[in-house]
Amino acid sequence: MSMARILVVDDDRAVRKALQVNLSKQGMHVTLANDPSEALDALHDAPFDLVLTDMRMPGATGLELLQKVRDAWPETPVVVMTGYGSVEDAVKAMKAGAADYLIKPITKDALLVVIERALERRSMRAELVLLRREVHQRYGFDNLIGTTTAMLRLYEEVSAVADTNATVLLVGETGTGKELISHAIHYRSARSSGPFVRVNCAAIPETLLESELFGHEKGAFTGAIRQHAGKFEQADGGTLLLDEIGEIDPLMQVKLLRVLESGELQRVGGSSTIQVDVRVVAATNKNLMEEVRENRFRRDLFYRLNVVALTLPPLRERRQDVPLLVDHFLAKYASHNDKPMPRLSRATMEKLEAYDWPGNVRQLEHLVERLVILSKDPDIDDIELPDEQEAAPLQRSESVLPPADMTLQSWLLAFERRVIVAALKEAGGVQARAARRLGVSRSNLNYRIGRLDIQVKDIEYE
């Protein structure tokens, strides 16, 4: 509350001085005005954090001053002061947008409480404005880097579909920026003030996915100790991103289709119907049409999701964008880490452009981030890419037997743990994908992960 700039407006000199003394003792800078006209002159000359005004003064009233402040300086809160016999004035002022009111005679404690409360609300509003600006900067087109024909076409498609309620299917390899595009769709739509909720369908066990999406009632199953609103309810009035949509099982596909078609759901263990207003964006790195032909994905659900399909090109198909992306990430992580921005030689940049980037933009971003953090030289003339990192060959003398101090069971469990961690890293942490890689069911892999106590921190995937 200290250092706040307060404008006090009152035609009573004694009241003005008393308020100045009490507020100045709290470290605030106080400016005095005799009437609304003088107050407006002061507001034009300098910014104020709060205006504290009497309601009844000769000439213009405090209510008229309030209205002019609201029009010209909408972020500046106004607190009105009125006498016991004029409480209706305070009611009118609150309806007109006053932040709060004080009844004369004003006690010091009441004054400080009301002023502090109004300043806190102003600070929260200012933080919200900054947060919204940051969100738009992060998820607007400014953060979508690329000038190739494929990217320009994608920008046009996002602009065309964003301000509609159409379901969107984002198709692209891992790391191409599907989540970033989904954010751009949300924040360029009429739903931008509503929630944006993401759920990774592949990262949630099949037995819990229904509860995660639709919620559950208390006592619906073991461990359901309280009522839980699912992702659809959390996204009401906004956008829900269903990431890795191709990984959900057939039974869940039926239930999801029913909600998408009706906009109604029931929590697990519940009987009442809940209406939701949610715009769905689904994302996948699979060919869902192929999944339909193989009877792994419902045809009716595919067509319900595929209202508008946007394809995100892999980085290897837009190599001309690599220098733009590199410069963007160099600047971003140099700023984040308070380090000088490295300079890459032309040969190094050409090497980056020639690389195939199997992990796409995400892989490039992580590589540039490490480069900024670890680089000691501002000029980088060469760079080691992942395909140049050869694994150490198995030595002929290396024994396949467990160490002398280790039992066979412990040795096998440790080896199994290394294999599963490696598969999860390769799959980007997606259990369903890792299970297919290992040739086991998802539930079997989930059981092994629990048995071997594999934690998220063990899987530092890119």
Higher per-residue pLDDT: 242 or 226? 242
Residues 341 and 357 in one domain: yes
Is 243 contained in some domain? yes
Residue-wise pLDDT for 419-432, tens only, equals 898 888 888 778 88
69/79 Cα distance (integer angstroms): 11
For the segment 6-16, the average pLDDT, to the nearest whole number, is: 93
In the chain, how many domains are there?
Answer: 4
Q: Please tell me the predicted confidence (pLDDT) of residue 123.
A: 82
Domain-located, residue 402: no
Residues 122 and 242 in one domain: no
**Are the C-beta atoms of 218 and 224 separated by less than 8 Å?**
yes
Residue that finishes a domain, picked among 256, 287, 313: 313
Q: Is residue 220 part of a domain?
A: yes
Say what the pLDDT of residue 395 is.
Answer: 40
User: What are 328-360's pLDDT values in tens digits?
Assistant: 898 888 888 888 888 888 888 999 999 999 999
Please state which of the ranges 4-18, 31-45, 245-259, 329-343 shows the lowest mean pLDDT.
329-343
Tell me, what's the pLDDT at 396?
A: 39
306 and 321: one domain?
no
pLDDT score of 393:
38
Q: How far apart are CA 365 and CA 380, in angstroms?
A: 17
Percent of the chain with pLDDT over 90: 47
327 and 308, same structural domain?
no
Name the band, by pLDDT with cuts 50, 70 and 90, for residue 66.
Answer: very high
Residue 198 belongs to a domain with what CATH number?
A: 3.40.50.300
- For residues 30-35, give the mean pLDDT: 93
Would residue 395 count as lying in a domain?
no
Asked whether residue 308 falls in the same domain as residue 321, the answer is no
| 161 assigned to some structural domain | yes
> Which residue range(s) make up the domain with 234?
146-313
- Contacts of 37 by beta carbon, 8 Å cutoff, 6+ apart: 59, 60
Cβ proximity of 52 and 81 under 8 Å: yes
**Which of 194-198, 202-206, 280-284 comes out lowest in average pLDDT?**
202-206
Q: Which of 84, 112, 134 is the last residue of a domain?
A: 134
What average pLDDT does this structure show over 7-19?
Answer: 93
Say what the pTM is: 0.58
In a domain, 400, yes or no: no
Q: What is the pLDDT of residue 425?
A: 84
- Considering the chain, what is the average pLDDT of its residues? 86
**Is residue 392 one of the residues assigned to a domain?**
no
Using alpha carbons, select from 283, 284, 302 the residue that is nearest to residue 292: 302
Percent of the chain with pLDDT over 70: 90
Strand-pair partners of 381: none
CATH number at residue 421: 1.10.10.60
Q: Which two tokens stand for residue 185?
A: 């769709």
Q: Both 228 and 181 in a single domain?
A: yes
CATH number at residue 26: 3.40.50.2300
Q: What's 361's domain CATH number? A: 1.10.8.60
Instruction: Based on the fold, state whether residues 40 and 84 are members of the same structural domain.
Output: yes
Q: What would the pLDDT profile of 94-150 be if each residue is shown by its tens digit?
A: 888 898 899 888 999 999 999 988 898 888 777 756 655 665 555 556 567 888 888
Q: Are residues 247 and 179 in the same domain?
A: yes
Same domain as 129, residue 158? no
Residues 128 and 154 in one domain: no
**Do 20 and 123 belong to one domain?**
yes
Say which residue, 408 or 278, is predicted with more confidence. 278
> CA 56, 58, 59: angle at the middle one, nearest 5?
110
53 inside domain? yes
418 lies in the same domain as 450: yes
Domain finish residue from 289, 313, 337: 313
